[in-house]
């Protein structure tokens, strides 16, 4: 059994409201808030909370959280460690690197593109930290972080030891992983919600080297770049195009001309529904249909978009929302709504200023129920709901 290192210093203890720690800017106070700047502090803080039976919420960038107005009756922990370490880099093995859970995700992407490390360029502009990336298996524009993760070092709250999970053990799926699934699993001392059983300490990534991107898998991105789906483009061009697309949709936190409140969101509030292929005929004929690809490469000697699972098909949550009658800027109470769909993208639920968690939840419920009534498809929320039920 691997034991955690000794704590070298006390973590920073302050008070905090979850509204100040989340991109939706809603949520009440935490009973206690701790910032940890070393792995030892993080492990010891988590272990002490579990020993005392104190509810635990580990936060990163707060871009995937909707917390109740009453706040969180437990300990909120934020890992503030940063820094990217390159372990190896050569033409044969590519780039091997690792970074702590607190590392800003988009800063890592920017460095990867600059250094010509291939595989995350389409994930530009996603808010949050590296530690959260493999938990949710973040993805955008046809790319997922599972394509570059080599392993994840964690603190296993059940076995009370540091444990490294290889990519084969992480069980990556669309917006899911073993890490995320462990959040609600019942084990000795569980359930672990709202933080997974496995608290991410650091993540090891493996990327190939090259000036060209991974094959472009998303039609909208391909059109913007002027290439065909499956072709490659300069990595810098892919990053610039993705940032432009995200900016148009109000999906960048701190840039672009879009209204400020369009950025007060959790990004895409609902995941794109994945349904059985035989049920695809239940969708309207003009509903988008996308292949569901695994993280395994297809059998080919060239660049691969990934192996297609023929038993599944993915459709667009945004398309379903719009065709169920919900337009950009829609709110439960019309223009007087303090929570409304983004004026740029119907998939983002936004706080227009002064919204409560209940306001956000009422909007999300109305959209979910409307899509279910119109198409029989149940939308699933992407953010973690703390103290709330959709």
Residues involved in catalysis: 175, 268, 382
Q: Within a 10 A sphere around the Cβ of 246, how many other Cβ atoms? A: 22
Handedness of CA 202, 205, 211, 213 (dihedral sign): negative
Radius of gyration of the chain (CA): 21
Q: Give the DSSP letter string of 309-320.
A: EEEEEE--HHHH
Nearest to 143 by CA among 114, 177, 174: 174
Using DSSP bridges, classify how beta strands 72-79 and 56-59 pair: parallel, antiparallel or unpaired: parallel
DSSP H/E element including 370: helix 357-375
Q: Are 382 and 269 in contact (CB under 8 A)?
A: yes
Q: Are 77 and 34 in contact (CB under 8 A)?
A: yes
Q: How far is CA 127 from CA 23, 28, 337, in A?
A: 9, 22, 25
């Amino acid at each position: 059994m691997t034991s955690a290192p000794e704590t070298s210093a006390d973590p920073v203890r302050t008070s905090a409201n979850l509204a100040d720690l989340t991109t939706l800017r809603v949520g009440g106070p935490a009973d206690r808030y701790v910032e940890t700047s070393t792995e030892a502090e993080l492990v010891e803080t988590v272990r002490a909370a579990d020993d005392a039976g104190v509810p635990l919420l580990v936060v990163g960038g707060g871009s995937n959280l909707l917390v109740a107005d009453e706040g969180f009756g437990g300990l909120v922990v934020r890992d503030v460690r940063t820094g990217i370490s390159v372990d190896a880099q050569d033409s044969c093995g590519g780039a091997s690197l690792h970074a702590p859970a607190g590392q800003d995700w988009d800063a890592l992407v920017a460095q990867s593109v600059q250094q010509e490390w291939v595989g995350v360029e389409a994930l530009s502009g996603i808010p949050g930290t590296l530690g959260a990336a493999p938990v949710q298996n973040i993805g955008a524009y046809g790319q997922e972080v599972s394509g570059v993760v080599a392993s994840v070092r964690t603190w296993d709250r059940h076995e009370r030891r540091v444990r490294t999970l290889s990519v084969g053990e992480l069980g990556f799926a669309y917006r899911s992983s073993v890490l995320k699934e462990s959040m609600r699993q019942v084990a000795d001392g569980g359930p672990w919600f709202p933080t997974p059983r496995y608290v991410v300490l650091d993540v090891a990534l493996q990327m190939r080297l090259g000036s060209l991107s991974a094959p472009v898998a998303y039609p909208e991105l391909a059109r913007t770049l002027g290439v065909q789906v499956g072709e490659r483009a300069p990595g810098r061009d892919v990053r610039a195009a993705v940032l432009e697309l995200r900016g148009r949709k109000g999906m960048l936190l701190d840039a672009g001309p879009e209204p400020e409140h369009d950025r007060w969101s959790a990004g895409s509030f609902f995941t794109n529904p994945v349904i059985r292929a035989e049920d695809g005929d239940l969708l309207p004929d003009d509903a988008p249909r996308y292949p569901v690809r695994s993280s395994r490469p297809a059998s080919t000697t060239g660049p691969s978009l990934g192996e297609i699972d023929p038993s599944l098909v993915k459709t667009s949550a945004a398309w379903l929302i719009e065709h169920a009658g919900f337009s950009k800027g829609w709110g439960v109470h019309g223009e007087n709504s303090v929570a409304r769909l983004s004026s740029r993208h119907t998939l983002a639920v936004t706080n227009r200023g002064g919204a409560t968690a209940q306001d956000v939840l009422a909007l999300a419920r109305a959209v979910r129920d409307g899509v279910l009534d119109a198409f029989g498809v149940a939308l699933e929320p992407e953010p973690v709901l703390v103290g709330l039920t959709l």
